Structure 1
């Protein structure tokens, strides 16, 4: 009897490069599987985000993908090969932690989307701070079609688009074109596919030119105040803005504006 074939690990499931100073691009690299979120890919992406978190030289993160699509969600073959409650709980816990890590990252994260972004892949797009999509990109939360409602993708989706639009995507599982995704607020910009890379780099470069301290303060405050009642949100934002005003970069930025010159950020 011949030995069972050995399953080769994804090598490497995430690629990292620096297209420009201050920018890091993390490229999902399971093209044959439409970059589905295997445990190995999620672990690699989590490790990259953890390393970037403390790297002050990184101003903006881009999440892109190789192959014909951005991300097709969880690796269903891997899911079926690991049945049972314990494996399912570990999988969704890992994915939820990954998505929250993107929100908690001090640096802004931009999704560069081509092809399809479905289920947890759509969740990944919705979890990023910004998203730029090719005109040919399509989005869906199609779990309902296979008897597995997209409950965890729902968390990110319902925080990016209105309730009724989120419910329509979740209940029908239908594909949404890039132009419609922009109308819904799921993506910021839609560009021709051959301009996708340059459009993302242009947006990332614009953000990277700002004070990194100010961007960090603003990103954290944005997500925290969203979950607060109105009066509490204003109290919190006022405290944040007071601390921000006392920072060196704020003084430098205001002085540069008054003196009609370019500011020189120090990140403090």
Structure 2
């Protein structure tokens, strides 16, 4: 349980999220994930990284119970910094990151997937940002990397989800496979990359990031400023508590 890293095959590092029941990560886990991905990317033996999760869903975002239990706001600061670090670690990883998504991918999960290089999804995968229903903002930066601008806004304001097949249509999901085949499908792509000269692949990743029109780090941190504002007004506390009371 927690965050683990192993070498599934030569040159392929696999990082796994495992936080039952829904992979909602506490503040420290986001920092740990950032450290794990950064360490794997710096390892010269790593030619490609696969990010995956155990359980019925890839990631439900942050642990709202932790936020509600903390009266002095240290948890919200920790979560915001941790999410920024984890999303940034995926984006800045010196090697390509292939993400394997099953079930739900919500909130912070969108931040991870949106910053990845290649997305492979199970047929049951769905993606969404319920932030406005939780009194928070953020990861519109990353949702905008998965869908066109007006669809992003509709999904964001309604807190609705989009399925893997629709993202395949938009070109942001590379393959959609039966859930039982998800891990192998991610490894198939990873093997193809890992077989290439890592000197070239690492420079290719750096070059592609260098021509990216979207400043993902600055854009996400800008969004987070409004999350702090909502916490100061009390709107965030009320929304989180209403969600927790429902279930």
- Give the TM interval when normalised to the shorter protein: 0.7 to 0.9
1:168 matched residue in structure 2: 154
User: For 2:105, what is the secondary structure of its paired residue?
Assistant: strand
Which residue, 83, 90, 104 being the options, matches 1:116?
A: 104
Deviations along 1:197-250, one digit per CA (max 9) or x if unpaired, are 11111100001111111111111111221238xxxxxxxxxxxxxxxxxxxxxx
1:104 matched residue in structure 2: 92
Question: Aligned partners of 1:146 and 1:43: how far apart in 2?
Answer: 22
Unaligned runs of 5+ in 2: 215-247
1:191 matched residue in structure 2: 177
2:167 matched residue in structure 1: 181
* Distance change >3 Å, CA 174–CA 98, structure 1 → 2: same
2:222 matched residue in structure 1: none
Question: Aligned partners of 1:145 and 1:184: how far apart in 2?
Answer: 26
Deviations along 1:28-75, one digit per CA (max 9) or x if unpaired, are 01122x111212321321221222132110111111111111000111
Deviations along 1:132-188, one digit per CA (max 9) or x if unpaired, are 00001111111122333xx32111122332211211111111121110122234422
So what's the TM-score if we normalise by structure 2? 0.81
| Aligned residue runs from structure 1 range 158-237, under 5 A | 158-227=144-213
The structure, 1 or 2, with the larger RCO (C-alpha pairs under 8 Å, 6+ apart) is 2
2:238 matched residue in structure 1: none
Specify which structure has the higher proportion of strand.
2
Q: How many residues align?
A: 214
Q: Report which of the two structures shows the higher radius of gyration computed on alpha carbons.
A: 1
Question: Aligned partners of 1:196 and 1:159: how far apart in 2?
Answer: 22
Report if aligned partners of 2:30, 2:79 keep a CA contact under 8 Å in 1. no
2:11 matched residue in structure 1: 22
| Aligned residue runs from structure 1 range 1-268, under 5 A | 12-32=1-21, 34-148=22-136, 151-227=137-213
Report if aligned partners of 2:28, 2:78 keep a CA contact under 8 Å in 1. no
Question: Aligned partners of 1:113 and 1:101: how far apart in 2?
Answer: 18
So what's the TM-score if we normalise by structure 1? 0.75
Unaligned runs of 5+ in 1: 1-11, 229-268
Question: Aligned partners of 1:133 and 1:100: how far apart in 2?
Answer: 21
Question: Aligned partners of 2:151 and 2:72: how far apart in 1?
Answer: 33
